[in-house]
């Protein structure tokens, strides 16, 4: 049985639930939200939605006892309206740290033995705080990190160069936030380094497009949902199926003393291997800056 729990079924949690069900990634799905009316509505709508599906997911209401044999907890509780007029993921920390303080002891005492996949912002700091308060092994607490930003980078390149995304290799790394950057030295199109194809000016434009991609969506609809739901679902699938997906997730970097996004192998036991990129001198400087940013955010908790 593949069992996932989602804590916080707002725009992101509910779209992730829908994605897990429609892509046949789960057998059992437990939903939690502090707003009872939202929770009941989402459970009902998802139930309606799966009526014509061949696979029927067991949809379960909020019961902490269900966490004991849950494989993956997806943490997506927060309040997206905080970003209105305040375009920095750091803005949500005052609220989201209190949600971690509420849920971490519950998760710890539930007998949960699986993997936590955090989406809630600021993603790297909240993932670290979840690990610290649940006291789960570091490899079993992961954040979606720069997986979505890497998707946004591929979107920008694919549109600008008119190439299929499958031809694009490479990563956005660092904080899931303003100090993230495209590690251009890792990016290849059909095996050719992109730096041999595009000028630095064009790379700068694409870097900004990747960083601002989320705000384009946010400004239009007040939240983002599909991009992150697809990333969360594929990472959850990698854990459930033990498929060794290499993806830029937020995970603990011993040398840096914090959680930060970079490519890592995701398997049934969580993070099984980290793949440090060979960065250029300029990229190393950006890496140091992003690490400092994460440390100073974490220090405010």
Ligand X SMILES: NC(=O)c1ccc[n+]([C@@H]2O[C@H](COP(=O)([O-])OP(=O)(O)OC[C@H]3O[C@@H](n4cnc5c(N)ncnc54)[C@H](O)[C@@H]3O)[C@@H](O)[C@H]2O)c1
121 assigned ligand-binding residue: yes
Considering beta carbons, is residue 226 or 275 the nearer one to ligand X?
A: 226
120 assigned ligand-binding residue: yes
Considering beta carbons, is residue 148 or 189 the nearer one to ligand X?
A: 148
- Catalytic residue of the set 155, 176, 253, 289: 176
Q: Binding residues for ligand X, per CB under 6 A?
A: 7-13, 32-35, 38, 76-80, 92, 96, 99, 102, 119-121, 123, 144, 148, 176, 223-224, 228
8 assigned ligand-binding residue: yes
**Least spacing, CB of residue 222 vs ligand X, in Å:** 8
13 assigned ligand-binding residue: yes
Considering beta carbons, is residue 53 or 86 the nearer one to ligand X?
A: 86
Q: Is 176 a catalytic residue?
A: yes
Considering beta carbons, is residue 44 or 53 the nearer one to ligand X?
A: 44
Task: Quickly list DSSP for the chain.
Answer: --EEEEE--SHHHHHHHHHHHHTT--SEEEEE-S-HHHHHHHHHHHHHHTTT-SS--EEE-S-GGGGGG-SEEEE--S-GGGGTT---GGGGHHHHHHHHHHHHHHHHHTT--SEEEE-PSSHHHHHHHHHHHH---GGGEEE-TTHHHHHHHHHHHHHHHT--GGGEE--EEB-SSTT-EE-GGG-EETTEEGGGTS-HHHHHHHHHHHHHHHHHHHHHHSS--HHHHHHHHHHHHHHHHT--EEEEEEEEETTTTEEEEEEEEEETTEEEEE------HHHHHHHHHHHHHHHHHHHT-
**Least spacing, CB of residue 218 vs ligand X, in Å:** 9
11 assigned ligand-binding residue: yes
| Residue number, nearest CB to ligand X | 10
**Least spacing, CB of residue 247 vs ligand X, in Å:** 13
**Least spacing, CB of residue 283 vs ligand X, in Å:** 22
Tell me which residues are annotated as active site. 176
Q: Point out the annotated binding site.
A: 8-13, 33, 119-121
Q: Point out the annotated binding site for NAD(+).
A: 8-13, 33, 119-121
């Amino acid at each position: 049985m593949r069992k996932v729990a989602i804590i916080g079924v707002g725009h992101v949690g509910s779209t992730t639930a829908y994605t897990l069900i429609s892509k046949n990634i789960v057998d059992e799905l437990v939903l939690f939200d502090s707003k009872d009316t939202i929770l009941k509505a989402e459970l009902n709508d998802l139930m309606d939605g799966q009526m014509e599906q061949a696979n029927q997911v067991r949809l379960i209401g909020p019961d902490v006892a269900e966490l004991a044999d849950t494989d993956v907890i997806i943490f997506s509780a927060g309040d997206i309206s905080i970003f209105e007029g305040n375009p920095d993921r750091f803005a949500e920390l005052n609220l989201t740290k209190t949600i971690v303080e509420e849920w971490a002891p519950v998760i710890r005492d539930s007998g949960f033995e699986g993997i936590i996949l955090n989406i809630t912002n600021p993603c790297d700091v909240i993932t670290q705080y979840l690990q610290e308060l649940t006291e789960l092994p570091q490899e079993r607490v992961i954040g979606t990190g720069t997986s979505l930003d890497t998707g946004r980078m591929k979107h920008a390149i694919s549109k600008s160069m008119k190439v299929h995304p499958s031809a694009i290799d490479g990563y956005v790394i660092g904080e899931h936030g303003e100090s993230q950057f495209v590690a251009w030295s890792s990016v290849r199109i059909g095996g050719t380094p992109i730096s041999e194809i595009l000028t630095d000016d064009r790379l700068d434009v694409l870097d900004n497009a990747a960083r601002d991609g989320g705000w384009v969506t946010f400004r239009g609809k007040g939240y983002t949902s599909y991009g992150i739901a697809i990333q969360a679902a594929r990472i959850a699938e990698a854990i459930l199926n033990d498929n060794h997906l290499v993806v830029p997730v937020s995970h603990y970097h011993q040398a840096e003393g914090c959680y930060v996004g970079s490519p890592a192998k995701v398997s049934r036991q969580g993070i099984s291997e980290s793949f440090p990129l060979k960065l250029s001198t300029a990229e190393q400087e950006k890496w140091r800056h992003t690490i400092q940013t994460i440390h100073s955010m974490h220090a405010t908790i």
